[in-house]
Amino acid sequence: MKTIIRCGGLLVAGLALALCPAGCPLSFEATLPANVDAALSVVLDKPDDFAQPASGSVTVTAGTVMAPLTGVVGCWGSFVAAIAGQGSLGQMDSYSVLQLRADGTFTTWDVENLGGFAAVVSGTSGHYEVEGDNRVRFTTEQRQYYDPVRKSFNTEEVNPPQVGESLATVDGNTLYLAGLDDQGAGQADYTQIYQRFECPQ
């Protein structure tokens, strides 16, 4: 769910860097929205609590049945530290929030830290369905990304809505999600590992 919206956010962040005059105080913090979503703030404030395990240390395969997927309801956070040599825009720390509500709606927030120079903030929303005991289907109906130049969010409706399936495993307070290509017909890709936290009121 990240890839498409990240592209728009990166373009806006690049524009902000290009338009900033000499001495402009661009920084990760300065290019975050003034009112960050409360759930996202939890992950931004304590990223170590949500750190993705190092490559090779993941012992649970997404889709393995550990507990009923009714347990997915709640707030989940993930932090992925920058990888050395990653990308032409500098090292990118990645902060993610997934909120799954009992009414079947979801919201995601993703923040990329471009080497400390700028933040790329994006989000999606829509509906989700639990499929059997090891899959979740996401229907994305809206995307938005933060424009640090205008200091406002750009929102677009997804028409037709974008549908994607993920293999899912709930193991205590950990959620494993791995997206499937072609609405479940392909191989699972990278597994995102989230930690549960109490949703802010």
12: pLDDT strictly greater than 90: no
On the question of pLDDT at 13 being above 70, the answer is: no
pLDDT score, position 115: 81
- CA separation for the pair 31, 25 (Å, rounded): 10
**Domain map (residue ranges) of the chain:** 2-197
76 with 95: CB under 8 angstroms?
no
Query: What are the helix (H) ranges across the chain?
Result: 2-19, 38-45
pLDDT band (50, 70, 90) for residue 6:
very low
Structure token pair of residue 178: 């791995």
The better pLDDT of the pair 86, 52 is held by: 52
State mean pLDDT over 154-167.
95
CATH code: domain 2-197 is: 2.40.128
Quick one: average pLDDT of 172-192?
78
Q: 48: Cβ–Cβ under 8 A, 6 or more apart, which residues? A: 79
Q: Give residue 52's pLDDT band: very low, low, confident or very high (50, 70, 90).
A: confident
Quick check: 4 pLDDT over 70?
no
Within its chain, how far is the Cα of 86 from the centroid? 18
Across residues 119-130, what is the average pLDDT? 96
| Residue in the block written with tokens 């890839």 | 3
Q: Give the DSSP letter of residue 183.
A: G
pLDDT band at residue 184 under the 50/70/90 scheme? low
Q: Which of 145, 198, 200 is nearest to 33 (CA)?
A: 145
Q: Which has the higher per-residue pLDDT, 89 or 141?
A: 141
Q: What integer best gives the mean pLDDT of the chain?
A: 83
Would you state the structure tokens that stand for residue 140, as one six-digit string?
């994305």
pTM: 0.84
Residue 143 pLDDT > 70, yes or no?
yes
